[in-house]
Chains A and B, each alone.
Chain A
């Protein structure tokens, strides 16, 4: 795998009055696992289809290893793709599905067999190569689709919400497998999902899309810890946004001045990002930010309790109490004090 650099320049696409892609530019490094993350209608699938050649943009450029791809028909692009519902050919068995790209490339029968075997082994499906597609489970179809996409060793692998049809346990398992596979094969991978957990687990970088544009492009850690706007922040995790006010050269919430480790992403920051797992039961009045709230209800969740709090200004947040926590379980009506460390206190504004 020598290369696989993708350079997207000023790509726009409108469907009637709806703007699907709004002047999008994006550079993807060779071998990178990049995720396009966003809600439906954000343009992530349209962008993937533009790269695959299924959608003709209104304007823009697409360079793969320096070669202009934008007018190339899809069958000449040599990109592997895993489709949302796998799109395995129902009239072919597993072997013939995986062999199909090789046959189109005119490979000899013996070499085709060998490479299909390797690809199926990679996804641990070699034992089922004679099965009909209808006889496979969802996870097995997923693996065959993946084998078909990688069997001709494309420079670029595209995946369109490939795990969305699987149940939760299998999905989490496949996430790890896909990541390992990418580490092993090293091909540039562009992955489309609306699931932030998937994006955080697998990606080298995540591009968060909204209304046809990229809102933030960064590593998973930065995206999660340092969102550049309210949209990105609320898209990741079980986030609550608390409005903050200016106070001199700083910011305050509920009358208390906020202690911040980093300057806010923008001068006019309006929101404090509160994630339940970052709220502490213990804190230092001098060092940490204190948040007081009234306990509304306490819900048992097996691995923890979920406690809903009403904060001043009628904002509601919820936190978890692990069984290892030594503080007693609060009761509804009680006042509870929680702590947020300065490095976990992130301020964002409405838009980046």
Chain B
């Protein structure tokens, strides 16, 4: 009976199964430190924040912290944050796409050298760069002085301490975040597609618009999403170059932490930002796919 039962057991199945499980466990083990870190520095504090946001100053469960977000000051800064992020992302796309395209069409070596210049701003602190823009852009700054000396303008242009200055400063910081993923995705586009388009009768402009652009759309989407989301959290640059006019959500969060009587209020702001960010990312992902398809079908 026992011998017969053993006979039905496939040979070494148990041992091989254990081996497979051990192998998987070892692979899983490699990711444990990183996962613990994420849990520790991200999930735990964030869950705590989300939990705090549900209580009012007296410690009672309440929606007060979220109701506060509907007040005009918050709605205004929320909308303005989205507007600034969208504007900066738009300008980054206009400036960054041609650069990424040029880099992707160059020989690899030349492109790598030029990429260093794209990454160069990463090596300087944001604070230093922001102050540098102030020196360049202000009323008695270098640019206005030159323009006046050249006789091109008689009155200084309002280049800084407003939305213009904020966008210039933020674009400078964000451009590499757009160019790098875009460049990577453009590099991955096989040049044979452009030949195929030309062979089908597409002029270089048509081939670019109908084939290259849609194929680069995923990279563009990734870069734009990254840029947009990072813009939502900007604090320093708008504060220094916006002249106090550019209300950012992050400023409200900092204010709430510093000034309000409890963490709940600030937590609610952070939770709202996170939810909206997630929503926007999801919409963008969906939109990029639609864009790629519709460009292809036109």
Q: Hey, which bits of chain A sit against chain B, CB under 8 A?
A: 52-54, 73-81, 83, 85, 87-92, 96, 100-101, 104-105, 148-149, 152
Contacts and interface: CB of A to CB of B under 8 A. Distances in A.
B199 A79 contact: yes
Interface stretch (B122-130, B226-234, B289-297): B289-297
Nearest to A149: B199
7 interchain residue pairs of minimum CB distance: A87-B196, A91-B296, A101-B200, A74-B198, A104-B201, A92-B296, A91-B214
A92 B297 contact: yes
B293 A75 contact: no
Contacts of B198: 53-54, 73-75
Interface string B177-218: 000000000000010110111111111101100110011010
A40 B22 CA distance: 47
Given A89-B296, A101-B200, A104-B200, A74 B195 contact: yes
A83 B197 CA distance: 11
A87 B192 contact: yes
Interface of B: 190, 192-193, 195-204, 206-207, 210-211, 214-215, 217, 292-293, 295-297
Contacts of A52: 195, 199
A148 B76 CA distance: 54
A93 to B, nearest CB: 8
Contacts of A152: 200-201
Q: Name the residue among B196, B215, B296 with the largest chain A CB count within 10 angstroms.
A: B196
Contacts, number: 72
Contacts of B207: 75
Contacts of B214: 91
23 contacts: A75-B197, A75-B202, A75-B207, A76-B201, A79-B199, A80-B199, A81-B196, A81-B199, A85-B190, A87-B190, A87-B195, A87-B196, A88-B196, A89-B196, A89-B215, A90-B215, A91-B215, A91-B292, A96-B297, A100-B202, A104-B201, A105-B201, A149-B199
Contact of B192 (A53, A85, A96): A85
Given A89-B211, A91-B295, A91-B296, A104 B196 contact: no
Nearest to B210: A100
B199 A75 contact: yes
Q: Name the residue among B201, B203, B293 with the largest chain A CB count within 10 angstroms.
A: B201
Given A75-B200, A92-B296, A96-B297, 11 more contacts: A73-B203, A75-B201, A75-B204, A78-B201, A87-B190, A87-B192, A87-B193, A89-B193, A91-B217, A91-B292, A101-B200
Contacts of B192: 83, 85, 87
Nearest to A96: B297
A149 B196 CA distance: 10
Contacts of A88: 196
Nearest to A54: B195
A94 to B, nearest CB: 12
Given A83-B192, A87-B190, A104-B206, A74 B293 contact: no
A73 B194 CA distance: 13
B191 to A, nearest CB: 10
Contacts of B196: 81, 83, 87-89
Contacts of A79: 199
B193 A74 contact: no
A104 B211 CA distance: 12
A149 B201 CA distance: 11
A90 B190 CA distance: 11
Contacts of B200: 75, 100-101, 104, 148, 152
A101 B196 CA distance: 10
Contacts of A75: 197-204, 206-207
A74 B215 contact: no
Nearest to A79: B199
A75 to B, nearest CB: 5
Nearest to B297: A96
Contacts of A100: 197, 200, 202, 210
A149 B197 CA distance: 11
B198 to A, nearest CB: 4
B195 A101 contact: no
Nearest to B207: A75
A104 B198 CA distance: 10
Q: Name the residue among B193, B204, B215, B217 with the largest chain A CB count within 10 angstroms.
A: B193
A114 to B, nearest CB: 18
A73 B204 CA distance: 10
A104 B200 CA distance: 8
Contacts of B197: 75, 89, 100
A120 B169 CA distance: 54
Contacts of A74: 195, 198-199
A90 to B, nearest CB: 7
Contacts of B292: 91
Contacts of A101: 200-201
Contacts of B293: 91
A105 B193 CA distance: 18
A89 B295 CA distance: 12
Q: Name the residue among A78, A80, A89, A149 with the largest chain B CB count within 10 angstroms.
A: A89
